[in-house]
Structure 1
Amino acid sequence: MIVDQLILDKAASKKKFSEDQKSERPIRSIAKAVSWRVIGTLDTLIVSYLLTNEVAIAASIASIDFVTKMFLYFFHERLWNKINWGK
């Protein structure tokens, strides 16, 4: 049943974004990635500081975490946007 939907919806996915109201624009995925990473980075910063008791180390960990996970989240969102299951 799910496979049938994926196959049948694949032909419909060739539409332009303006014709397909089920998908998101990439800019929305970017905004969601940035806002989520701000929250996640604050969490990482606090936990890193509590574990290391060093602001510089905690900030370094949080900075790397922010950049790498933002890119991962963006591509994760775009991949899920292509899957019609549950829409």
Structure 2
Amino acid sequence: MDQAKPSRSFVKTMTWRLIATTDTFILTFFAARWIGADMGISGGEATSLAATVASLEIVTKMLLYYIHERGWARLDWGMMHNPSG
């Protein structure tokens, strides 16, 4: 069975987290700006909230993704096999 190395999973984890955390920051920022405007949340507070949410979720979701990736790396399902290897 062809398997992914742990270093490959780690790099995939890091690049995915960069994309996903940027998305979380943008969504939180705009939600706080648009919805928060009715609750008196200023632009600076929206930025602070977005940064806080993005900072908290980056660690937990990176760990969960890595565990998920390594679990999938152990499965044969959906893998292509190299007959010469």
Residue 32 (1) aligns with residue 12 (2):
yes
Structure 1 vs Structure 2: percent identity of aligned residues? 40
Provide TM-score, normalisation by structure 2.
0.75
Which structure has more helix as a fraction of its residues? 1
SS at match of 1:86: coil
Q: Distance in 1 between matches of 2:32 and 2:7?
A: 36
1:49 to 29, 37, 44: 29
Q: Distance in 1 between matches of 2:29 and 2:8?
A: 31
Q: Distance in 2 between matches of 1:81 and 1:25?
A: 8
Structure 1 stretches of 4+ with a deviation exceeding 2 A read: none
Residue 86 (1) aligns with residue 78 (2):
yes
Q: Distance in 2 between matches of 1:63 and 1:32?
A: 19
How many residues get paired?
Answer: 67
Structure 1, gaps ≥5 residues long: 1-19
Aligned equivalent of 1:77: 69
- Aligned-residue CA RMSD (Å): 1.0
Higher relative contact order (CA 8 A, sep 6+): 2
SS at match of 2:8: helix
Provide TM-score, normalisation by structure 1.
0.73
